Amino acid sequence: MNENQRKEVSNRVAQLRADYVARLPSELAALSSLGESVRAGEPDRGDLQSLHHRLHKLAGTGGSFGLTELSAKARALERRVERWLDEGLDTIDDAAGRALVEDLGALHAAAGKTDPVLQSSFLPRKKTPVSEVAQIWLVEDDPEVGRQLRYQLESFNYSVRMFESIDEAGRIAETERPDLLILDVMFEAEGENSTEKMSRCPALNRLECPLLFVTSHDDFMSRVRAARLGAMGYFIKPIDVPRLVNRMAQIFDQRRAPPQRVLIVDDDADLAEHMRLVLMAQDIRAEVLSRPRDIMEEIAAFRPELVLMDMHMPEFSGPDLAGVIRQHENYANLPVVYLSAETDIKQQVRAMDRGADDFLSKPISDFQLVAAVRARIARARRLDEQISKDSLTGLLKHASIKEAVDMNVRHAHRVGAPITVAMLDIDHFKEVNDSYGHAIGDVVIAAVATLLRQRLRQSDIIGRYGGEEFVAVLPECDVGNAKRVLGDIRERFSSLGFSHGGQTFKCTISIGLASASQHPESDGAELLVTADEALFKAKRGGRNQVCEAKPA
């Protein structure tokens, strides 16, 4: 979302609130009229239910638009009417009726008082995109260490700019910014600890980019100062480059992740639209469900990562809809969160027993809404990754990558597009485990995974097939281009240095390729077998090479 779009959204939010405030007098007049009807003799249960529902909406929406006092008074009246409904009153005595009418009339005065905190809480988020080739600033006063680290980072497709002092980086930071900053902790020539100096360098502090520290000094206070500066990693020299790069990849994966998706289910159109705009301004995709009967069709089409719904709605309650969602196996883990003015703990617990995961109380500020949505979807994404992705590499697990191969090969055959499947295997990997241990073997496996993620396209699909073996699916890519790209990855991996106990060693990979164009009768499973045969040919031919499967 660009700056003009943000301003437009901000203006629409302000206008939505202004329109709501302008309509309040007529809504309050309708409430007063209902109060008079209820007061007159035997109350009609339909009038009481209508009064209760309108007060419930006023308590939630009014507060969310900054009318805190109005919200509190409406909630107190809502509870009073709710008790009458629960008790099944046949008549309301004169004193109670007069008090109801007076308190409804007092809502008019409260409607003019706004809470500046809630009212001004909307703040459009300016999201800084990551460059296609991430720009890394490396501030290191040892030129040789810096050159070696720069060379290895560039093998992982990062663009690296070197600085030998914090002051030099600070001057450039006045006009330019990186995607990630790596700082040495101790600068001998300057005689300063960068975790101390960084706090006194406004230009570097304003960069608002991820920060990593590298150091030979692992002291606790430096780590504490790094944490206070928001550092996302602290690495001890000699630097384990694959681990450093893996952390960098995790950071950029999070920043490049697709927008979060939220489905809003609320019968209050003003509040639902307000929430949609607030979330949209924070780069969160949100849609409003206008017909609760269509909830499953909307979920299937929009694929939300969280359903945010009111608990009390006139036709179907939140628990009704949550129960319907949970009847579908595909959505058993879809987070459902109630957002309601309901404050009765027993009611909340009862409602959550019927398929919801959490409960947020109206009124809610824009900041609270955005923070709650982000945190819950982030947790759901992490859970989904744990289910479908390998914990060491972050790549798809065996079953998931096989499914991806089959699905993408079928699609390629259907539309007549090229697609290539690659099988990769680390050469002599057993010797790595036997010589250096399984922990170092894991580092080597993680390095292959990170290199594949960095050098392949976002549209390519990568999985850990098992042990030291990987699969890559390259849609819209013929075997010639695949051979060029994966040959480059093979060369870069062979140049990486791994260290253990003062020893440095290198590894290589062998790769087999199979193209759907050259094997038009093959489905996904068969193409995997063909790629595996090509891999075996690469191994038998001397390893550290790329072989393609020729058509029969």
The 10s digit of each residue's pLDDT in 112-145 is 776 654 444 444 455 566 777 889 999 998 888 8
Strands 461-466 and 498-500: unpaired
pLDDT digits (tens, 9 = 90+) for 254-293: 787 888 999 999 888 888 888 899 898 888 999 999 888 9
pLDDT digits (tens, 9 = 90+) for 145-155: 888 888 888 87
Looking at the predicted structure, is the pLDDT value of residue 499 above 70? Answer: yes
Number of structural domains (the chain) is 4
Domain final residue, candidates 85, 118, 151: 118
280's tokens = 């949209």
pLDDT digits (tens, 9 = 90+) for 539-551: 999 999 999 998 7
Q: What is the pLDDT of residue 1?
A: 62
| 233 and 159 in a common domain | yes
Of 344 and 120, which is predicted with more confidence? 344
108's tokens = 């008019």
Give the whole-angstrom CA distance, residue 208 versus residue 220: 24
- Would residue 127 count as lying in a domain? no
| 330 and 238 in a common domain | no
| 420 and 544 in a common domain | yes
CB distance 225 to 243 below 8 Å? no
CA distances from 202 to 186, 205, 234, 254, 404 (A): 19, 5, 22, 26, 47
Q: Catalytic annotation on 468?
A: yes
Give the whole-angstrom CA distance, residue 392 versus residue 428: 20
pLDDT digits (tens, 9 = 90+) for 295-320: 999 999 999 999 998 877 878 888 88
- Would residue 311 count as lying in a domain? yes
Q: Which domain holds residue 515?
A: 398-548
| 468 and 383 in a common domain | no
CB distance 454 to 420 below 8 Å? no
| 306 and 250 in a common domain | no
Q: What is the pLDDT of residue 128?
A: 64
- Would residue 264 count as lying in a domain? no
What CATH number is associated with residue 232?
3.40.50.2300
What CATH number is associated with residue 54?
1.20.120
Report for 225-229, 408-412, 507-511: range of highest mean pLDDT:
507-511
Report for 187-191, 277-281, 507-511, 513-517: range of highest mean pLDDT:
507-511
Catalytic: which of 468, 469, 491, 526?
468
| 409 and 523 in a common domain | yes
Domain final residue, candidates 340, 360, 388: 388
pLDDT digits (tens, 9 = 90+) for 4-33: 777 787 788 778 888 888 888 888 988 888
Confidence of residue 343 (pLDDT cuts 50, 70, 90): low
What are φ and ψ of residue 526, in 5° steps? -70, -35
- Would residue 327 count as lying in a domain? yes
Neighbours of 323 (CB within 10 A): 15
Report for 48-62, 101-115, 299-313: range of highest mean pLDDT:
299-313
467's tokens = 């042990």
**Which residues touch 285 (CB under 8 Å, ≥6 apart)?**
259, 260, 261, 262, 279
| 186 and 109 in a common domain | no
CB distance 505 to 436 below 8 Å? yes
Q: Read off the pLDDT of each residue in 227-254 and give the average, rounded to a whole number.
A: 84
| 345 and 219 in a common domain | no
Q: Is the peptide bond before 314 cis (omega within 30 degrees of 0)?
A: no
| 494 and 409 in a common domain | yes
| SS3 label, residue 306 | strand
Q: Residue 151 class from Cβ within 10 Å (0-12 exposed, 13-18 middle, 19+ buried)?
A: middle
Q: What is the pLDDT of residue 418?
A: 94
CA distances from 70 to 6, 103, 113 (A): 30, 11, 8
**What's the length of the chain?**
552
| 405 and 382 in a common domain | no
Confidence of residue 552 (pLDDT cuts 50, 70, 90): low
Reference 515, options 424, 423, 420; nearest CA is 420
pLDDT digits (tens, 9 = 90+) for 345-397: 777 777 677 777 888 877 777 888 888 899 889 888 878 777 788 878 889 99
Residue that the structure tokens 């595996």 belong to: 532
- Would residue 269 count as lying in a domain? no
Q: Read off the pLDDT of each residue in 486-491 and give the average, rounded to a whole number.
A: 95
Confidence of residue 191 (pLDDT cuts 50, 70, 90): low
Average pLDDT, the chain: 85
Confidence of residue 513 (pLDDT cuts 50, 70, 90): very high
| 451 and 354 in a common domain | no
To the nearest 10 degrees (0 to 180), the angle between helices 45-64 and 269-281 is: 20
459's tokens = 């549209």
Domain final residue, candidates 118, 149, 173: 118
Give the whole-angstrom CA distance, residue 156 versus residue 496: 10
| 234 and 94 in a common domain | no
The alpha carbons of the chain give a radius of gyration, in whole angstroms, of 30
CA distances from 232 to 131, 244, 495 (A): 19, 11, 27
- Would residue 279 count as lying in a domain? no
- Would residue 211 count as lying in a domain? yes
Q: What is the pLDDT of residue 341?
A: 66
- Would residue 406 count as lying in a domain? yes
Q: What is the pLDDT of residue 119?
A: 46
Strands 261-265 and 306-309: parallel
